[in-house]
Amino acid sequence: MSVSVARPCAWGSHYTVEEDELIKPRLNKTVAAVTTSALLLMAVPVVGIASTAGAAPKPTFVIGYEGPLSGGNQQLGLNMVYAVQLAINNANATHKLPYVLKMAKFDDQGSSTLSPAQAQAAVANKQLIAIVGPAFSGATKAAEPYYRGAHVATVSPSATAAGLVAGFRNNNFMRVVAGDDVQGAADAKFLVNKKGASSVYVINDASFYGAGLAAVFAKSAKADGAKVTATTVPGTAQCQDGTASPSEYPAVATSIVAAKPAAIFYGGYYCDFGLLLGALNSAGYSGMIMSGDGSWSPSLISGTSPASAANNVYVSEAGGGNATLTGKLASGYTKLAGFSAKNATYAAQSYDATNVILAALAKVYQPRFKVKALRERIVLALHRISFRGVTGHISFQSNGDLSAKSIVDFGQVQNGNIVSIGHS
Amino acid sequence: MANLLHYFASHLATLRLEFWSLLVGGFATGVMYAMVAIGYTMVYGVLRLINFAHSEVFMSGGFASYFMMRALIGTSTPSGTWSVVLVIIGVLTGGVAGAAIAMLLERIAYRPLRRRNAPKLAYLISAIGASYFLYNLAGKEFGRINESMPSPYINHTVFTIFGAPVQLYYIVIFVVGVIMLITLDRLVATTKLGRSVRAAAQDAETASLMGVNIDRTIVLTFVIGGALAGAAGFLWGLGFTGVGFYMGFTPALKAFTAAVLGGIGNLRGAAIGGLLLGVVESFSVAFVPASYIDVIAFGILVLVLLFRPTGILGERLGRSA
């Protein structure tokens, strides 16, 4: 990292103090050692001045994105990563920042077995100051210990599992969406009270996210007066790191149809949900079907055989009131992504998550801070931030959840598209 | 105790209600398992090795027929004779692609090892490597998502058995699968080609002294097994699962289980094992939550192997292919 010409000495000495302040074990260093390192550090900029002669180049900081960029559920990750890129491009384009921003991608395929390695790689990146993500709840749970250990703030646009904030001992995880306790309850109200489903067959995919959402839904639906049958249909190896074979789905679908529920609720992601919809269609199911934010994607329709089996399915998203990128942001997004921002679930949240990190960075940035110091200061700044994003007002509770009461959006598949049909 | 009885009573009621539906669905899956299991058992019969890249032979058949169907059908809705022709084209495309990949596998992953008299473990590693390579290549080239195959017909219920709807999709699987399995059985039992396969399985060295071309016979077993698996890939993709780079993993694992269940090395055993596994899986759903289906399926496998360590029909090494 280089600095302005005017104050090499000040930088040298201040730098040492900063580092000691933050790394407690080093507090015991002797005065002599401090002096030596200060002298050594002072020497470095002097050499730098000679070679660069004046205008110091801006430092580069990396915002990481961790989520599924390949695998069965990659569409959700792709939706997010282009929004992160858009926010970074827009920030760089102002030319007013004293630093250059870059993005690094960490592909965990949405899997909790792959995410720790990605988190370790992210933490090891010497320019990385914070993470947008991780995207999936199970992957987040597995990765957080590594981020926490390195004091890297993770602002997730989509990890909604209630268990991520309840009793979680770290302070570096935040999310710009409501938890599944909010979403599951709103979904139950929608299906039971608004659509009049007297009996609901609740299915989860055995993932951390799906099981959590389904449990909240089942509890709320019961409280709302519906008869609830709950079961687990594990996700398939074809879609995620699930254990089941898709060949089991027809039999599962047959037994669901035999139970004659008025509605089915699925807690899980679109890839397996699409397989189940195909099987339910073959088994002759004709009642209502609903799923959560993990299924709000056009890929649900293209991945369902036949595509018509996805018709009339309801989906929900714990956004902040119909949160999509609009206007110039939407066109910029489409240019980067090659697909429309409409129905790109979590694009708007990712845009906000990136910007809220950038706002925190702008607040705490001083040229004398190294990346390690910045990481910790960003975590602290995020807890105090008050920010107006495209999805609404963003500030965080101490557990990382949004302070604002969130609105849950509802959509329905109509003629091969997901159409917004109101909110809670 | 009363609770337990009640539990079984209520599930027996479910089973009675859905018996025929579950049986039809289970048979359909079973036929596809059987078609894949043949490849494992044939290669084992001749070479005494498990071709773990067989799952990718299945996947290649799925993808080849997917691209063929996409080119021929597009967004149209075929009907009548054209539907029948399309299904035949799909089976052939899948079969040819499967056979080609299986042949390539033999050439690249196995023959060099055979020439050097490598230990059996080396084949296993080579097979796993080939499998990783092929499915990752498919993921890279075709995308790591599921694609739904354009359907050559409109799926509908054709007739019912005791109230259970039998769909056109199931009929397609039955017809294609049964024709291919019977043809294979006759081929191996009655033709000269089949005799050379059986001879090579019995004693490769003696067979070669008797004028059987061993290399050619081994290639043939791979090609036949590959063609069946490729065709099964097409049938599998036609269903609700579509095609994807990872589509081979679980079906092939189940098919391998079926081959062992029926008695590995035994052609008819593989077919019976496949059907049985499909039906058992399907019936398990009436009794246990979906998360335990595999526990039942593999529990039965263990039971069968405890009492008949060589599988249901016995390991007929050397006599069948």
In angstroms, what CA-CA distances link A89 with A31, A101, A333, A342? 44, 8, 11, 20
Given a cut of 60, whether residue A112 has pLDDT beyond it is yes
Given a cut of 70, whether residue A83 has pLDDT beyond it is yes
Tell me what ipTM this predicted complex has: 0.78
Please tell me the predicted confidence (pLDDT) of residue B7.
65
Question: Taking the CB of residue B198, how many other CB atoms lie within 10 A of it?
Answer: 20
- The encoded tokens of residue B304 equal 């069968």
> How does residue B185 score in pLDDT terms, banded at 50, 70 and 90?
very high
Query: What is the helix (H) or strand (E) element at residue B164, kind and residue range?
Result: strand B164-167
> How many angstroms separate the CA atoms of B32 and B20, rounded?
19
Please tell me the predicted confidence (pLDDT) of residue A169.
58
Given a cut of 90, whether residue A46 has pLDDT beyond it is no
In angstroms, what CA-CA distances link A76 with A71, A73, A157, A304, A407? 11, 6, 11, 16, 20
pLDDT tens digits along A148-172 = 999 999 999 999 888 888 655 568 9
How close is the nearest chain A Cα to the Cα of B104, in Å?
A: 25
> How many angstroms separate the CA atoms of A173 and A134, rounded?
10
For residue B147, the SS3 value is strand
> Which of B69, B234, B63 has its CA nearest to residue B143?
B63
Contacting residues of B for A71, CB less than 8 Å apart: 144
In angstroms, what CA-CA distances link A48 with A3, A6, A56? 9, 12, 9
For residue A291, the SS3 value is strand
A302 vs A83: which has the higher pLDDT? A83
Given a cut of 70, whether residue A346 has pLDDT beyond it is yes
Q: Which residues contact A150 (CB under 8 A, 6 or more apart)?
A: A123, A375
The pair phi, psi for residue A378, each rounded to 5°, is: -65, -40
Across residues B114-142, what is the average pLDDT? Answer: 91
- The encoded tokens of residue B181 equal 């399995």
Find out whether B102 and B226 touch, Cβ atoms under 8 Å.
yes
Residue of B nearest to A259 (CA): B14
pLDDT tens digits along B217-245 = 999 999 999 999 999 999 999 988 889 88
In angstroms, what CA-CA distances link B315 with A61, B35, B41, B201? 64, 18, 10, 12
Please tell me the predicted confidence (pLDDT) of residue B82.
93
> How many angstroms separate the CA atoms of A245 and B293, rounded?
10
Q: State whether B146 and A303 contact (CB < 8 Å).
A: yes
Given a cut of 90, whether residue A16 has pLDDT beyond it is no
Please tell me the predicted confidence (pLDDT) of residue B75.
81
Question: Taking the CB of residue B273, how many other CB atoms lie within 10 A of it?
Answer: 32
A358 vs A241: which has the higher pLDDT? A358
> How many angstroms separate the CA atoms of B173 and B237, rounded?
11
> Which of B51, B67, B92 has its CA nearest to residue B143?
B67
Q: State whether B293 and A278 contact (CB < 8 Å).
A: no
Contacting residues of B for A284, CB less than 8 Å apart: 157, 165
Paired sense of beta strands A409-414 and A314-317, if any: antiparallel
First to last CA, chain B: 50
Interface membership of B21 toward A (CB under 8 Å): yes
Find out whether B56 and B135 touch, Cβ atoms under 8 Å.
yes
Question: Taking the CB of residue A342, how many other CB atoms lie within 10 A of it?
Answer: 16
Across residues A78-106, what is the average pLDDT? Answer: 94
pLDDT tens digits along A280-301 = 998 889 999 999 989 988 889 9
Please tell me the predicted confidence (pLDDT) of residue A18.
42
Please tell me the predicted confidence (pLDDT) of residue A242.
67
First to last CA, chain A: 49
Contacting residues of A for B284, CB less than 8 Å apart: 251
Beta bridge partners of A387: A394
Distance of CA A222 to the CA centre of its chain: 30
> How many angstroms separate the CA atoms of A76 and A345, rounded?
7
Question: Of the ranges A84-93, A130-139, B179-188, B236-245, which one carries the lowest mean pLDDT score?
Answer: B236-245
Give, as one character, the DSSP assignment of residue B107: I
> How does residue A365 score in pLDDT terms, banded at 50, 70 and 90?
very high
Given a cut of 90, whether residue A132 has pLDDT beyond it is yes
Please tell me the predicted confidence (pLDDT) of residue A55.
62
Please tell me the predicted confidence (pLDDT) of residue A70.
85
Domains delineated in chain A: 2-27+56-179+322-394 (3.40.50.2300), 180-317 (3.40.50.2300)
Given a cut of 80, whether residue A8 has pLDDT beyond it is no
Please tell me the predicted confidence (pLDDT) of residue A382.
94
> Which of A206, A397, A400 has its CA nearest to residue A294?
A206
Q: State whether A206 and B293 contact (CB < 8 Å).
A: no
Please state, for a pLDDT cut of 90, what percent of chain A lies above it: 54
Most confident of the ranges A17-31, A175-189, B275-289: A175-189
Q: Which residues contact A284 (CB under 8 A, 6 or more apart)?
A: A257, B157, B165
A258 vs B316: which has the higher pLDDT? A258
Residue with the two structure tokens 């992953």: B109
How close is the nearest chain B Cα to the Cα of A284, in Å?
A: 9
> Which of A356, A360, A355, A300 has its CA nearest to residue A329?
A355
pLDDT tens digits along B195-207 = 999 898 888 889 9
Please tell me the predicted confidence (pLDDT) of residue A21.
41
Contacting residues of B for A310, CB less than 8 Å apart: none
pLDDT tens digits along B26-44 = 999 999 999 999 999 999 9
> Which of A353, A371, A20 has its CA nearest to residue A156?
A353
Region of residue A267 (phi > 0: left; psi between -120 and 50: alpha; otherwise: beta): beta
How close is the nearest chain B Cα to the Cα of A57, in Å?
A: 38
Residue with the two structure tokens 């604002």: A404
Interface of B with A in 245-264 (CB under 8 A): 246-247, 249-251, 253-254
Across residues B272-301, what is the average pLDDT? Answer: 85
Q: State whether A237 and B167 contact (CB < 8 Å).
A: no
Find out whether B266 and B311 touch, Cβ atoms under 8 Å.
yes
Given a cut of 70, whether residue A93 has pLDDT beyond it is yes
CA atoms within 13 A on the CB side of A19: 17
What is the DSSP code string of A167-223?
Answer: T---SSEEESS--HHHHHHHHHIIIIIIS--SEEEEEE-SSHHHHHHHHHHHHHHHH
Identity of the amino acid at B120: K
pLDDT tens digits along A259-271 = 899 999 999 999 9
Chain A residues with CB within 8 Å of chain B CB: 70-72, 74-75, 206, 231-234, 236-239, 243-252, 254-255, 258, 271, 274-275, 277-279, 281-284, 299, 302-307, 309
Residue of B10, B33, B146, B277 best to disrupt the A interface, most CBs of A under 10 A: B146
Query: What is the helix (H) or strand (E) element at residue A41, kind and residue range?
Result: helix A31-52
> How many angstroms separate the CA atoms of A410 and A321, rounded?
10
Residue of B31, B58, B136, B241 best to disrupt the A interface, most CBs of A under 10 A: B241
Contacting residues of B for A232, CB less than 8 Å apart: 289-291
Find out whether A242 and A205 touch, Cβ atoms under 8 Å.
yes
- The encoded tokens of residue B48 equal 């005494």
> How does residue B4 score in pLDDT terms, banded at 50, 70 and 90?
low
Paired sense of beta strands A417-423 and A409-414, if any: antiparallel
Q: Which residues contact B97 (CB under 8 A, 6 or more apart)?
A: B60, B61, B63, B64, B65, B230
Across residues A180-202, what is the average pLDDT? Answer: 94
Interface membership of B213 toward A (CB under 8 Å): no
Across residues A313-331, what is the average pLDDT? Answer: 81
Please tell me the predicted confidence (pLDDT) of residue B320.
44
B297 vs B73: which has the higher pLDDT? B73
Q: State whether B246 and A248 contact (CB < 8 Å).
A: no
Please tell me the predicted confidence (pLDDT) of residue A3.
39
Give me the CATH code for the B17-320 domain, please: 1.10.3470
Q: State whether A255 and B285 contact (CB < 8 Å).
A: yes
The pair phi, psi for residue A364, each rounded to 5°, is: -100, -10
> How does residue A49 score in pLDDT terms, banded at 50, 70 and 90?
very low
Contacting residues of A for B278, CB less than 8 Å apart: 247
> How many angstroms separate the CA atoms of B120 and B116, rounded?
12
Given a cut of 60, whether residue A239 has pLDDT beyond it is yes
Contacting residues of A for B242, CB less than 8 Å apart: 303, 305
Across residues A384-397, what is the average pLDDT? Answer: 89
Strands (E), A332-415: 387-389, 392-394, 409-414
Strands (E), A249-379: 263-267, 288-291, 314-317
